[in-house]
Amino acid sequence: MAIEIASAKAGPSRDSNPGDPAYLKVRDLVYRSSGIYHAEEKLYLLISRCARRMTALGVTRPADYLEHLTVRPNCTAEMRLLLNEITIGETYMFRHPTQLEALRNVILPQILQVKGLISLKRLRFWCAGCSTGEEPLTLAMFLLEEKDKLLAGWTWDILATDLNDNSLEIARAGVYGEYALRNTSEALRKKYFREVGNQKLQAGDLLKSQVRFDRVNLSDDNKMLFQKGIDVIFCCNVLIYFDLASKRRVVQHFYSNLLPGGYLFLGHAESLFQVNDAFHLVHFVGATGYWKPPSGYVVGGKTGGDKK
Amino acid sequence: MNAKLLAQLQAQIKQLDSISAAPAIMMPLLEMLRLPSEKIRVEKVVELVSYDGAIAAQCLRLANSPLFGMRYIETVRSAVMALGLERVRSILFGLCMNRVIPKDKWVISSDAFWRHSLGCALVTQRMAKNIGYPEPEKAYLAGLLHDLGFLVNSILYTEDFRECLRRAVEQHVPLHVTEEQVLGFTHCNTGQLLSEHWGLSKEFVDAARCHHDLSLLPAAGPLACLVHLGDLLCRVRYLGYGYDEILGVDLGGDVAWRTLVATYPALEHFDLARFTLDIDGAMEQIVATVDSVFGVNSAAAPASS
């Protein structure tokens, strides 16, 4: 009952029109501050996210909520809270095992060979849009497992960033349930996690120490320029929220953030077609990645393509 | 490959006719393959397909599979009507090809071979259509035939070829690499010789010979390029030879792609990632189709598929 009363008092009122021009203004504001664009057919998603914030604030009219985002003194904070609602994502560890295989079999051997020559035995990874931390922790486990094999004598750091404060908070706590761990083997669970009751596991200190979490807005050019010397960037299912112009800008940043010979991984269904043609699409078994060729690389210079 | 080895191989391939388990319709079918499409007669195709009950049944099952549009086809004649003469001819050839190897001489599993050949045929044909290559059916056939050399190697050099496969599985490398080490020649060489022996046209011979190394051709034709790319795309999408290869392929930077772009400038604006994604769906269908047509027990399928 209490809930019903609450919903009668706050949240968008029943007669609030989904085509309300206020929502279109909210959409533009969201776009300007984050690059995330809700096209006409995705507008319902934005409206449902706004609804949660409106309920929390006790606001019923979209126009009033727009006020909270523009003229009220706490408008910057409110935008941040709305972005937190918009960028919630559910994922699990070892979601893309073929990317890790490509890393182990092709990419890391390539990078180690080049970097080994200049005796710079350190690798930098960046999970851009890390959500609640499943992806960087997967990468951390993978790298720790290779520590005495492929990566003997090497060190690394993993930067994991997201726009969503709530996600980052969960990531820092590192407590996960069965859904997040469904692809994680018993051996890895035992090795890198501890039980915290309620059928949940928490990442242990060793695992946590591998990853540095930080809030980065991919549309913030100043912060993006700051990330340099990265070997591999993971940005899975993040750019799908961006429109073409913002996508281009973000991907151009990724390109300059990467070292020559570095790789960018996107989500399974994402393509850089017409977004960026400096990256080379590389096919691995069961996965594709985008490669930044070293200077002097000649397209079509190789023959045969698959000769070892 | 030196002249002596070549002459030796040529002589051995002639023996193939007596060793292989090729169905009776193989020879008339080969004759038909040499004909230009406008000269193929419906009656002849129907007759050949119907000659062997088992082949006719498999042919109908394939024609009815979602890969070819999932129609309700009951007779060989309606299959010809629905799919076209050329496609039925290719399907038939594929079915016969798979029977050439006697049961005890298969080295690569017959399912893997079928999946790879059928996969390559379909991917090559799709790509051909996409780029505006005028004869997509020809691309289908070229994709289907590109690994004919495996038939030769399995039948004539069974034990050595087993060693090639063992090494390739162990080292995760493509088979032609270990064939070179163990046999001194590859399935590309024997594929070339067999397709010449069978009187296939030069384009098919070239595709079989050069699909792993286009530099062998002074000027690679579009068909050889398409087959080269189709083969690679299948191998990076679990339709290889039934084991895990280590592959990282820059298709857009590949010489085959660059050659095609020079011929078809529209390709400069081709979304390869999207194309890969589209064929990913087809790959699953190919596996399902091969399993259903040949009654493969999925538990015995290679782990990677």
**CB contacts, 8 Å: B272 with chain A:** 273, 281
Question: The CATH number of the domain where A194 resides is what?
Answer: 3.40.50.150
> pLDDT tens, A47-87?
988 998 999 999 999 999 999 999 988 888 999 889 888 87
CB of B272 within 8 Å of a chain A CB? The answer is: yes
> pLDDT tens, B238-247?
899 888 899 8
What's the domain count of chain A?
2
Work out the percent of chain A whose per-residue pLDDT is above 70: 91
Could you say which DSSP state residue B103 is in?
G
For residues A75 and A105, membership in a common domain is answered with: no
In A110-169, the residues whose Cβ lies within 8 Å of chain B are 110
**CB contacts, 8 Å: A286 with chain B:** 236-238
Domain range enclosing A196? 97-291
Using the predicted structure, report yes or no on whether residue B249 has a pLDDT greater than 50.
yes
Is residue A81 situated within a structural domain?
Answer: yes
**CB contacts, 8 Å: B271 with chain A:** 271, 273-274
| Sheet strand arrangement including A193-195 | A175-176, A201-203, A193-195
For residues A280 and A152, membership in a common domain is answered with: yes
Q: Which residue has the higher pLDDT, A9 or A280?
A: A280
Domain range enclosing B26? 12-295
Is residue A49 situated within a structural domain?
Answer: yes
Question: The CATH number of the domain where A14 resides is what?
Answer: 1.10.155
- Cβ–Cβ of A269/B215 closer than 8 Å? no
For residues A14 and A103, membership in a common domain is answered with: no
Distance between CA atoms of residues B117 and B97, nearest Å: 10
- Lowest-pLDDT range, A98-112, A171-185, A253-267, B88-102? B88-102
Identify the closest residue of chain B to A282 by CA–CA distance. B250
- Lowest-pLDDT range, A103-107, B186-190, B212-216, B298-302? B298-302
Amino acid (1-letter code) at residue B196: E
ipTM value, please give it: 0.80
Q: Which residues are CB-contacts of A250 (< 8 A; sequence separation ≥ 6)?
A: A35, A218, A219, A224, A239, A242
> pLDDT tens, B134-155?
999 999 999 999 999 999 999 9
- pLDDT, chain B, mean: 87
Q: Which residue has the higher pLDDT, A35 or A218?
A: A218
> How far, CA to CA in Å, does B105 sit from each of A127, B162, B163, B164, B191?
49, 10, 13, 14, 17
Size of interface A-B (CB pairs under 8 A): 107
Distance between CA atoms of residues B65 and B88, nearest Å: 13
The per-residue pLDDT for B297 is 43
- Cβ–Cβ of B251/A272 closer than 8 Å? no
Among A29, A56, A86, which residue terminates a domain? Answer: A86
The per-residue pLDDT for A13 is 58
CB of A285 within 8 Å of a chain B CB? The answer is: yes
| Sheet strand arrangement including A155-162 | A211-215, A155-162, A122-128, A230-235, A258-266, A287-291, A280-284, B248-249
> pLDDT tens, B49-61?
888 888 888 888 8
Burial class (CB in 10 A: 0-12, 13-18, 19+), B164: buried
Is residue A300 situated within a structural domain?
Answer: no
Using the predicted structure, report yes or no on whether residue A4 has a pLDDT greater than 50.
no
CB of A288 within 8 Å of a chain B CB? The answer is: yes
